[in-house]
A and B are shown apart, each in its own frame.
Chain A
Amino acid sequence: AQKITQTQPGMFVQEKEAVTLDCTYDTSDPSYGLFWYKQPSSGEMIFLIYQGSYDQQNATEGRYSLNFQKARKSANLVISASQLGDSAMYFCAMREENSGGSNYKLTFGKGTLLTVNP
C-alpha cells in the first residue's frame, strides 16, 4: 500500500484565489511528521511547511497552511492568494520517526502539478 497518496495529478487555479492540494497518508507509527515541498520547473526542491503528529494546531507559514485531519489521515496543503510563481509541482512527504531506526528518511507522494492562471 502506498504510504503517501496525492490523488490530483494536476490542478488549475486562478491568480489570487485559494487552492487546496490533497494528501493522505498511511502509517501505524504514532510519531510522524508531514512535509510539503515545492519543485518549480527549475528542478530544486523547496521546503514549505511541516506538521508533527502531536501538534495540536494546524501549521501555517505565510500563505501556506496545512489542514491536518489526524483521524482521516489527511494533510492537505492550502495556498491562499495564489501567485503566478506558485506554478510548480508539489510533493507531500512523511517521516515515520519510530520505525526503521533514527534515519529520518522521507517517503514522498507522486506529486501534484499546480498551474496558476493569470
Chain B
Amino acid sequence: NAGVTQTPKFRVLKTGQSMTLLCAQDMNHEYMYWYRQDPGMGLRLIHYSVGEGTTAKGEVPDGYNVSRLKKQNFLLGLESAAPSQTSVYFCASSKLPGQGSRFHEQYFGPGTRLTVT
C-alpha cells in the first residue's frame, strides 16, 4: 500500500499561471481533503469530498477548485496563481464510519510545497 500520494512534491509558479495538484489514495477511503499549511497558522481546510463526484468548500476555498471524478483521486486546481497561495498543501483521506477504523483518523500525504512568485 502506498497510502496517500501527492504529485508534484515541489512546484514554482509565476503569478497568473495555473496548475493542478493530484492526490491519490489506495485505501478505498470515501472521504478526501485538501489542506494548506502556512507558518504559524496550522492546517486549514480548503475543500473536501465525501464521495466520488461530490465536493464541498472548507475554511479557505477562494482561488481553488477541486474535482473527484474517481474515488481514489482528488484534484486541487489553481486557475490563476497568486503569491498568497504560496504554501504547503496536504491531501488526506479517511474511512466511512463502520469501515473498520476505530477513530476514523485522517491519513495524510507527504505534502506539496508550492511557491508563487
Residues 45-58 of chain B, each 1 if its beta carbon lies under 8 Å from chain A, else 0 = 10010100000101
Contact B41 A103 (CB under 8 A): no
Residues of B in contact with A, size category: 20 to 34
Whether A25 is near chain B, meaning CB under 8 Å from some CB there, is no
Choice from A4, A33, A107, A110 contacting B103 with Cβ under 8 Å:
A33
Chain B residues in 8 Å Cβ range of A110: 40-42
Stretch at the interface among A12-20, A40-48, A71-79: A40-48
**Interface size class, chain A:** 20 to 34
Task: Given A103-B50, A108-B43, check contact A44 B33 (CB 8 Å).
Answer: no
Pairs of residues from A and B, 7 with the lowest C-beta to C-beta distance, nearest first? A45-B108, A50-B103, A108-B42, A108-B43, A110-B42, A47-B105, A43-B111
Enumerate 14 A-B pairs (CB-CB under 8 Å) in ascending A order: A35-B105, A43-B110, A44-B111, A45-B43, A91-B42, A91-B43, A101-B50, A104-B94, A104-B106, A105-B45, A105-B58, A108-B43, A110-B41, A110-B42
